[in-house]
Chains A and B, each alone.
Chain A
């Protein structure tokens, strides 16, 4: 059994004891370009030798996974919108939190690391364009966010990430809340409990969430 996962999801799986050597971790930034994410995932799947089960640490992710071909492998994917539903334990909970405040920016450990990368990107932006333009870009990108929700998945101590979350909230002028997450979907996935909460794609078939 192998895992191909987004860096944000991989971070949780490592704490849950899934062996790193069986895991391929992909850049979180791919989520912003669904067609690139699809191409990359397909290449990774095609590159896995033999005919094993491959667990994909993704959800629909802007339909990036739709149509991916399983080839010689069986693919298993949580039947959710994206990683936030994985961290919160279900789509229902994700929808509830999202409807409560659509302008929510979610953080987990993996997303904090991603944000630290974004901070590096921001510094590059300042180098490239100067501070004024870089600030305009960030303001425009975060214009509609109202709050940060730090999800406590229970996999690690949150203290370090609390500090980052509160700094980020202050910098962007957002409120900060903490919400309990859940490990249940990932636990079911690595334990092979692939019921209707998972999309199971048999060999020589393709991914369809419908």
Chain B
């Protein structure tokens, strides 16, 4: 059983796009607990993050790892118990208005899903009104905003204000991330946290939910 799980974690960290679906199917056929498979995939992604930090993996490798995760999750998701999906709470994520960079945002989404959050991914260039609507509709307790362009950081403030106007600001915590984000921005925009990578994002949202 360990063999299956190990192979899956290795396939993720080794970026084996063509093999992952079959490995997940085989593990499921062999009776491996789907949640064990999920955590193996997640640990594979953590390894990918470490290799990126070390400079052994590049941006293209990160993107490929995200694609491998996606393929694996496609097979796995129907087998996860519905009550366990989102057991940790609901998080709304997106790339802010005016920006379309989403490599980091997608990795955060994948890592949050595999860590047990229900993730509502609104995509890119998202107007603040859609975020308010999604928070309300899904009862989200966390919001994750991604921004890469320094020219679009003001969009973060627009989200904060829109949540305040809708009387929802007290009910959600907001984390930001992306190349141009800083602690100074966290204070200036009135958000709650800054995440440097997808692994840190999981820790931040776990903290938000407790």
Contacts and interface: CB of A to CB of B under 8 A. Distances in A.
Interface of A: 32, 34, 59-63, 66, 81-82, 85, 91, 94-95, 98-99, 102-103, 121, 125, 129, 132-133, 136-137, 140-141, 143-145
Nearest to B106: A140
Interface of B: 15, 17-18, 59-60, 63-64, 66-67, 97-103, 106, 124-125, 148-152, 179-180, 182
B179 A34 contact: yes
B39 to A, nearest CB: 24
Given A32-B59, A137-B63, A144-B124, A102 B180 contact: no
What are the 3 A-B residue pairs with the smallest beta carbon separation, nearest first? Answer: A144-B100, A62-B179, A81-B151
B17 A98 contact: no
Contact of A140 (B18, B66, B151, B179): B66
Contacts of A85: 151
Contacts of B15: 129, 133
Contacts of B152: 98
A140 B63 CA distance: 7
B72 to A, nearest CB: 14
B105 to A, nearest CB: 10
A195 B99 CA distance: 29
Given A60-B150, A82-B149, A140-B67, 9 more contacts: A63-B150, A66-B182, A95-B151, A121-B60, A129-B15, A132-B18, A133-B15, A140-B103, A144-B101
A125 B61 CA distance: 9
Nearest to A61: B150
Contact of B100 (A60, A66, A102, A125): A102
B99 A137 contact: no
Given A81-B150, A102-B125, A133 B100 contact: no
B104 to A, nearest CB: 12
Nearest to A36: B55
A103 B125 contact: yes
Contacts of B100: 102-103, 144-145
B109 to A, nearest CB: 13
A143 B150 contact: no
A85 B67 CA distance: 33
B186 to A, nearest CB: 13
A102 B17 CA distance: 30
Contact of A62 (B60, B64, B66, B180): B180
A147 B71 CA distance: 28
A91 to B, nearest CB: 7
20 contacts: A32-B59, A32-B179, A34-B180, A59-B150, A60-B180, A61-B150, A62-B180, A63-B180, A66-B182, A81-B150, A91-B151, A99-B98, A103-B125, A132-B18, A133-B15, A137-B63, A140-B103, A141-B60, A144-B124, A145-B100
B130 to A, nearest CB: 14
B110 to A, nearest CB: 12
B30 to A, nearest CB: 27
A102 B124 contact: yes
A22 B59 CA distance: 33
A123 B196 CA distance: 30
A82 to B, nearest CB: 7
A141 B98 CA distance: 17
